[in-house]
Amino acid sequence: MIPLSWYLILSAALFSVGLFGVLARKNAIAILLGVELMLNAVNINLVAFWRYGDVSLMAGQVFAIIVFAVAAAEVAVGLALVISVYRRRNTVIADEIDLLKW
Amino acid sequence: MTTETLIWLIPLPPILAFFLIVLFTNKNKALSHTVAIGAAGLSWLGAMIVFVRAIGTPELGKVPFASAINWIPTADTWLKIGVLIDPLSAVVLFFVAWTVLMIFIYSVGYHNYGQPAGDHDHPGLPPHGATVEENGHKHTVLSIEPMYSRFFAFISLFAFGMLTLVLSDNLLTLFVGWEIMGLCSYLLIGFWYAKPSARNAAVKAFMTTRIGDVFMLLGIAFLYSATGTLSFREIFTTNTLHVLATVSTPVFGLSAAGLIGLLLFIGTVGKSAQWPLHVWLPDAMEGPTPVSAMIHAATMVSAGVYMVIRMFPLLSLDPHTMTIVAFIGAFTALFAATIAVAQNDIKRVLAYSTISQLGYMIAALGTGAYVAAAFHLVTHAFFKALLFLGSGSVIHGMEHGVLHTGNHEVDAQDMFNMGGLRKKMPITFWTFLIGGFALSGFPLITAGFWSKDEIFSSAFGTGHMAVFITLAVAAFLTAFYTMRQITLTFLGEPRTKEAEHAQETPWTMTLPLVVLSVFAIGFGWVGIPDDFLGLHLPASWFHEFVGSTLAVMPEAAPFSWIVLGTSLVVALGGLFFGWLVYRNVQTPAQDKLQIPVLKNKWYFDEIYDVVFIKPAIWFSEVFVSLWMDKGAIDGFLHLFGKVTISIGSTIRNYFDLPVINRFFGDGTANVTQWGAKKLRLIQSGRIQQYMLVSLVVILALAGLLFYLLRLA
């Protein structure tokens, strides 16, 4: 059986890719994609810990499903916001959407 | 009804009348005087019943009508309120009831009841007359007093005060009645309050009697602390009197009895206008004439003498006090008589005459002549009330003449404007003549002769020669100025047009004169001494009756031809000279006795003005107001204010402003503002920048946590 650490390394790598995407990309949609990657990295962690821990406890799987649902909703809202911003300001560059400043 | 219950009820009608008039009937003049006279009549009726029962009671002096109830609780006893009718208060009640009723009836006429309202009359001023049209031509008549009801309310209260005083069985309620009369005399003297002279006279009377009252109150307080009671019958027991006579006081070496007697006597000096507190009484003539009669004959001044007669058992314990009393009385009698000689105002002559006659009573008492003092008190009340009411009638008649001629320059009270009034005003003339002869002591017929004779006998019999001679000289002057007054007023021919047109007054005024003149003659006959002219007459009823008030019946002074001779000479001589000197006098310039020192009352008003009034005004205006109040007290307050302000401003300038305001207040605000200005720049609105910062912080925290956990 593949040791747990492999899953964790995979998860950490995926999280890092997502984090880099969030911090480095300019396009708001790409940032959203980065966020999705980070969420899924977490999901991997949850499922992995469930599988290597007490299998009779369902919490890990349940959390993962909740995260899916939340992520789907979040993407839907996020995309809608981005489209709305694009229509008004004609841009999807995150740095240019800086209305909430001092 | 028992006699005691009746006695309790006697003073009540006048006080009820007072409240009725003040509260309900003051708009209706007829109803007001009906209520007042009805009340006086009820009191009179009660007083007469009590008097008749009193003279029908044997041994009334030992077992008087008395009744008392507890009134004010003190520590372990009660101050009592009660009534007492012994022979002395019975005779005083008799004359008070009569004179009060007569004065009430007289007031109706005096205040022009039934006359039209005046053209320009104003409350607070005497009525000026009204114009009426009759048979096509106008003429001026007397007009009704604007404050008619108010007058009857006041005299009702006054009557209540006097009856309370006479009937009370203790010094406390006596003092209450005394003060009620003081208040009423103030109100009545100042009845025409729009006249400045009336206002001043009212204040003067009130202030002067107040001096006496304060001393009297001290005497009462001392008496109460010494004996624990104020009831006459409890004080005049042998034991109590003995204690009072033997206890000594630090004042002038007097015994307690002497000091108390002296203090109470000062009260009388104020109330009965004795020298040196006599100055208020002549000025009190500013009031309406019935008031003069009330104050000067029936009630207030008699009350003072009544009080010392009442306290005689106490007073007579100390010979020093008796000497002072005799001296003051005799001196006042002569002193006031000399002033009366030079007065031209018909009422002022009588005012000084009253002072003089009260001096007689006081002097009689000082020589120990208890009965003689009481006798003269009663006869004087009758004939002096008669004279005052008669003078009021004269003035009234003169005012009628003044209105007829329309010359208001003529003073209706100045005797030199009168003359010949006997033909115009016959009833007034004859009654005034009777009163004047009684005052002069016209032999055998008049009451004044018998009472004055008894005083002379006592002074002579007890060896007080100085008092006797002083009183004899005063009696001569009395007869002299009385005849001067009668001559100038009634005899000869009219000296002015106004006197020619004088008119007899209505029956409401003449009826009291007639009634009082009956007493001015007849009342003397009850006190004819049994050994008069060396005859063996029946014993003097008055002496037997009033003398029995005392524990030991006083001895009647023996008859003396010297006394009778003196009495006859001074009375007849005075009357004769009075007529002789003044029968042809037409103007004040022809009057040889208008000596400035007498005319100006020995300058007592001026002396008091300089010695007491000016210093008192200086004291209040300069010392109290300017120095104490504005200087010391205001100065201190202003200083306190200034010090407080300077402390306050120091704290403000050196602590509040720099520390609290600048440092804590402005300082923290500035720091916060500066920090906020700097810090707000990190809110750039760039989402990735926030996330980067978050990442760095999380990493830093994680590093820290890792480091710490590893250490642990």
Residues B475 and B616 in one domain: no
pLDDT at B669: 93
Domain-located, residue B200: no
Contact A101 B683 (CB under 8 A): yes
Residue B298 pLDDT level (bands cut at 50, 70, 90): low
Residues B562 and B668 in one domain: no
Range among B45-54, B115-124, B446-455, B557-566 with highest mean pLDDT value: B45-54
Residue of B nearest to A21 (CA): B688
Residue B465 scores a pLDDT above 90:
no
What residues of chain B lie within 8 A of the CB of A22, using their CB?
688, 691
> Quick check: B68 and B80 in contact, CB under 8 A?
yes
Residue B577 scores a pLDDT above 90:
no
Does B696 reach chain A within 8 Å, measured CB to CB? no
Residues B560 and B613 in one domain: no
Closest-CA residue to B88 (of B451, B455, B542, B457)? B542
Range among A76-85, B105-114, B235-244, B569-578 with highest mean pLDDT value: A76-85
Q: Where are the alpha helices (DSSP H) in B491-560?
A: 497-500, 507-522, 541-547
User: With a CB-CB cutoff of 8 Å, which residues 2-31 of chain A face chain B?
Assistant: 19, 22-23, 31
Residue B133 scores a pLDDT above 80:
no
* CA–CA distance, B92 with B189 (Å, rounded to integer): 24
Residues B513 and B633 in one domain: no
Domain-located, residue B180: no
Is the sign of the CA dihedral B587, B593, B597, B601 positive or negative?
Answer: negative
Looking at the complex, report in whole angstroms how far the Cα of residue B675 sits from the nearest Cα belonging to chain A.
14
pLDDT at B397: 87
pLDDT at A41: 94
pLDDT at B257: 85
Q: Which of B567, B594, B621 is the last residue of a domain?
A: B594
Q: What contacts A47, CB < 8 A, 6 or more positions away? A: A60, A61, A64
Average pLDDT, chain B: 87
Residue B161 pLDDT level (bands cut at 50, 70, 90): very high
Residue B587 scores a pLDDT above 70:
yes
Q: What angle do helix axes A4-24 and A28-52 make, rounded to 10 degrees?
A: 170
Contact A94 B686 (CB under 8 A): yes
Residues B643 and B561 in one domain: no
Does A100 reach chain B within 8 Å, measured CB to CB? yes
Tally the domains of chain B. Answer: 2
Among candidates A94, A99, A101 on the partner chain, residue whose Cβ is nearest the Cβ of B688:
A94
Residue B29 pLDDT level (bands cut at 50, 70, 90): confident
* CA–CA distance, B394 with B345 (Å, rounded to integer): 12
What letter represents residue B278's amino acid? H
pLDDT at B163: 92
Residue B673 pLDDT level (bands cut at 50, 70, 90): very high
Domain-located, residue B380: no
What residues of chain A lie within 8 A of the CB of B680, using their CB?
102
Residues B401 and B550 in one domain: yes
> Quick check: B33 and B21 in contact, CB under 8 A?
no
Contact B685 A101 (CB under 8 A): yes
pLDDT tens for each residue of B374-405: 999 999 988 888 998 898 888 888 888 888 88
Residue B588 scores a pLDDT above 80:
no
Residues B585 and B626 in one domain: no
Q: Which helix (H) or strand (E) holds B67?
A: strand B65-73
What residues of chain A lie within 8 A of the CB of B691, using their CB?
22-23
* CA–CA distance, B394 with B399 (Å, rounded to integer): 9
Contact B683 A102 (CB under 8 A): yes
Q: What angle do helix axes B87-110 and B29-55 make, rounded to 10 degrees?
A: 160
pLDDT at B342: 86
* Range from B37-41, B289-293, B636-640 carrying the lowest mean pLDDT: B289-293
Does B676 reach chain A within 8 Å, measured CB to CB? no
Residue B597 scores a pLDDT above 80:
no
Domain that residue B576 falls in: 390-594
pLDDT tens for each residue of B621-647: 888 888 888 889 999 999 999 999 999
Contact B688 A23 (CB under 8 A): yes
Residues B521 and B404 in one domain: yes
Q: DSSP string spanning A57-95? A: --HHHHHHHHHHHHHHHHHHHHHHHHHHHHHHHS--BGG
Instruction: Report angle CA B156, B158, B162 to the nearest 5 degrees.
Output: 115
Contact B685 A23 (CB under 8 A): no
**Helix and strand counts by DSSP (H, E) for chain A:** 3, 0
Domain A4-96, second-level architecture: Orthogonal Bundle (1.10)
Residues B423 and B458 in one domain: yes
Q: Which of B544, B562, B594 is the last residue of a domain?
A: B594
Question: Which two tokens mark B49?
Answer: 């019943």
Residues B553 and B671 in one domain: no
Interface confidence (ipTM) of the complex: 0.85
pLDDT tens for each residue of B272-287: 888 888 888 888 888 8
Contact B685 A98 (CB under 8 A): yes
* Range from B29-43, B99-113, B209-223, B491-505 carrying the lowest mean pLDDT: B491-505
Length of chain B: 712
What mean pLDDT comes out for the span B512-520? 89
* CA–CA distance, B566 with B572 (Å, rounded to integer): 10
pLDDT at B530: 76
Q: What contacts B277, CB < 8 A, 6 or more positions away? A: B208, B209, B211, B212, B269, B270
What residues of chain B lie within 8 A of the CB of A21, using their CB?
none
pLDDT tens for each residue of A44-57: 999 999 999 888 88
Q: Provide the residue-wise pLDDT of chain A in tens; the chain has 102 residues.
A: 788 999 999 999 999 999 999 999 989 999 999 999 999 999 999 999 999 988 888 888 999 999 999 999 999 999 999 999 999 989 988 888 888 887
Residue B649 pLDDT level (bands cut at 50, 70, 90): very high
Residue B25 pLDDT level (bands cut at 50, 70, 90): confident
pLDDT at B297: 67
pLDDT at B654: 92
- Domain map (residue ranges) of chain A: 4-96
Residues B616 and B535 in one domain: no
CA–CA distances in Å: residue B357 to residues A89, B40, B339: 125, 27, 13
What mean pLDDT comes out for the span B348-370? 89
What mean pLDDT comes out for the span B473-501? 87
How many CB atoms neighbour CB B579 within 10 A? 15
User: With a CB-CB cutoff of 8 Å, which residues 69-88 of chain A face chain B?
Assistant: none
What residues of chain B lie within 8 A of the CB of A102, using their CB?
680-681, 683-685
pLDDT tens for each residue of B689-712: 888 999 999 999 999 999 999 877
Contact A23 B686 (CB under 8 A): no
